[in-house]
A and B are shown apart, each in its own frame.
Chain A
Amino acid sequence: MSIGSFSFDVTASGQFPYIIAAILVAFGLYALLFKRNLIKMVIGITLIETGVNLFLVMVGYRSGGAAPIYTYANPGQGMVLPTPQALTLTSIVIGLATTALLLSFAIFVHRHYGTLDVRKIKELRG
């Protein structure tokens, strides 16, 4: 089955999954551009991050492949590419780190300014 020219067949061809990731990234950009709350902007950043990680792990999919772990693999079955999974693990941990730092910065900004509204946090301008 297909919408427009994009086929739904997840096991085989088509770019539909990539488009999902791109749309996730676009949602994150929307939150960063139009939301006025610091926490919502952090959520937007995490959305972009999720989209990128999703894209990264989807790039490594090989149709009909199993997880690249020989302990559970059944003989003769192909395996998906292991590198993108490693990269995704790395970028997930990096995302955790950045989110933690951003949120603690948000705590301190709120402690100093008494608000989380971006439009009121503009001491540094000009």
Chain B
Amino acid sequence: MNKVLRVVAFLFVSAFLILAATSMRDFGVPNDATMDQYFIDNTQAEVGANNVVTAVVFDYRGFDTLGEATVLFTAVIAVLTLFRKRKEDEMFEGEVR
């Protein structure tokens, strides 16, 4: 794509992002806080933790946290994969450099 189209696309997408921001609800007044109010009210009774965020992270949305730990694990494995020591004689099956 040439430069002009690129600039046009960039401007369009930025404009729509600004449009999304301006047509959001007002800052500081959530539309529907039922779920979060439930967390705030019932964390101490259900989980027994004072830190609501940690309770959400590890109990109510604990599966997300498992996925998050998995993402970190995946990244570690991938980086170790890239920087691993490898045998010299494993250049085969048409792996032309």
Contact = CB atoms under 8 A, between A and B. Distances in A.
Interface in A52-106: 55, 58-64, 68-71, 79, 81-83, 85-87, 89-90, 93-94, 96-98, 100-101, 104-105
Given A17-B27, A90-B65, A98 B50 contact: no
Contacts, number: 137
Contact of A71 (B10, B24, B51, B83): B51
B80 to A, nearest CB: 10
Given A18-B22, A22-B21, A97-B75, A68 B83 contact: no
A90 B51 CA distance: 16
B10 A29 contact: yes
A19 B27 contact: no
B50 A83 contact: no
Given A33-B6, A81-B33, A86-B56, A68 B40 contact: yes
A13 B10 contact: no
A75 B39 CA distance: 17
Given A17-B27, A82-B39, A101-B75, 17 more contacts: A13-B28, A15-B27, A18-B20, A26-B18, A33-B10, A58-B27, A60-B30, A62-B29, A62-B30, A69-B52, A70-B52, A82-B56, A85-B56, A86-B64, A89-B68, A98-B75, A101-B79
13 contacts: A12-B29, A13-B27, A15-B24, A18-B27, A19-B21, A22-B14, A26-B17, A62-B28, A68-B51, A69-B51, A70-B44, A83-B56, A97-B74
Interface of B: 6, 10, 13-14, 17-18, 20-24, 26-30, 33, 35-36, 39-40, 43-44, 50-53, 55-57, 61, 64-65, 67-68, 71-72, 74-75, 78-79, 82-83
